[in-house]
């Protein structure tokens, strides 16, 4: 019989890793999708029900948006600044809503939210 350490077993996912995240969020798996928090996974389930009920057309996970384009400065390439929402809801009237299920709003998040609102006024933005 081969024995492995508890650390290795946690790495392999054989036993749960009870290590808490920085903001006490626990990763959750639903439909084979790993969500960063229970709150995010519950919102996903709610959106599935809203699609089945015909309330919304569809939704997408983790939509990405460029907040500032990349550029070159002093011979160096500066990468673009991006924001990734948790969900994009496609409403039946053609409108689009971006949803973020943050539990803790960091300073970086608050800055990116402002940049998003400025660059993408055509989208409704919701914090759930």
Number of structural domains found in the chain: 1
Collect all residues with Cβ–Cβ distance below 8 Å to 23 and sequence separation of at least 6: 103, 104
Q: Are 91 and 119 in contact (CB under 8 A)?
A: no
Helix, strand, coil shares, percent, the chain, to 5:
25, 30, 45
- Asked whether residue 7 is domain-assigned, the answer is no
Collect all residues with Cβ–Cβ distance below 8 Å to 7 and sequence separation of at least 6: none
Segment 62-117, tens digit of pLDDT: 999 999 999 999 999 999 999 999 999 999 999 999 999 987 889 999 999 999 99
Residue-number span of the structural domain to which 72 is assigned: 23-127
- Asked whether residue 119 is domain-assigned, the answer is yes
Question: CA 88, CA 14: separation in Å to the nearest integer?
Answer: 33
Segment 22-42, tens digit of pLDDT: 556 789 999 999 999 999 999
Question: CA 13, CA 11: separation in Å to the nearest integer?
Answer: 5
- Asked whether residue 27 is domain-assigned, the answer is yes
Tokens of 105: 């709003």
Would residue 81 be called left, alpha or beta, if left means φ above 0 and alpha means ψ between -120 and 50 degrees?
beta
- Asked whether residue 52 is domain-assigned, the answer is yes
- Asked whether residue 57 is domain-assigned, the answer is yes
Q: How many CB atoms lie within 10 A of CB 23?
A: 11
The domain that contains 112 carries what CATH number?
A: 3.40.1350.10
pTM: 0.80
């Amino acid at each position: 019989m081969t024995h492995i350490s508890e650390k290795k077993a946690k790495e392999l996912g054989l036993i749960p890793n009870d290590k808490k995240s920085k903001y006490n969020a626990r990763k959750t798996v639903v439909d084979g999708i790993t969500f960063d928090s229970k709150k995010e996974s519950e919102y996903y389930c709610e959106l599935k029900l809203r699609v089945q009920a015909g309330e919304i057309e569809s939704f997408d996970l983790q939509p990405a948006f460029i907040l500032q384009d990349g550029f070159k400065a002093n011979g160096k390439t500066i990468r673009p600044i991006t924001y990734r929402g948790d969900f994009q809801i496609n409403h039946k009237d053609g409108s689009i809503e971006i949803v973020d299920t943050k539990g803790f709003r960091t300073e970086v998040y608050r800055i990116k939210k402002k940049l998003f609102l400025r660059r993408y006024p055509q989208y409704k933005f919701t914090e759930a």
